Amino acid sequence: MNAKQLEILDILQEECGELIVAISKVKRFGLDNSYKEGGTQRAHLTQEAGDVMRMIQLLTAHGVISAAEVEDASTRKAEKLKQWSNIYA
């Protein structure tokens, strides 16, 4: 792996941690509870999810992972969720 790929992974790791914190805050305080600077927990969750999505896109753009394989994995996950969760019910 080259330096850019490693940097992308480092930043993605940080962003995943920040997304986890945002999820915890939503669960504790609710989606529409105020956050910082007049925003809401929902807005913070949205920002952190977008940050993670961008870093995943960079992983594909820099050849670390394949976009097609990520899409295939996403489809497989949807099928598992249909079987093992109530999300699609």
Residue 20 lies in a domain: yes
Kind and range of the H or E run holding 25: helix 3-29
Residue 25 lies in a domain: yes
Residue 33 lies in a domain: yes
Q: How many domains does the chain have?
A: 1
Q: Which of 41, 20, 23, 22 is nearest to 32 (CA)?
A: 41
Residue 89 lies in a domain: no
Residue 75 lies in a domain: yes
Q: Which of 25, 87, 15, 18 is nearest to 53 (CA)?
A: 15
Give pTM, 2 decimals.
Answer: 0.92
Flag residues of the chain having pLDDT under 70.
Answer: none
Q: What pLDDT does 65 receive?
A: 98
Residue 58 lies in a domain: yes
Per-residue model confidence as pLDDT tens digits over 44-67: 999 999 999 999 999 999 999 999
Q: Which domain holds residue 66?
A: 3-84
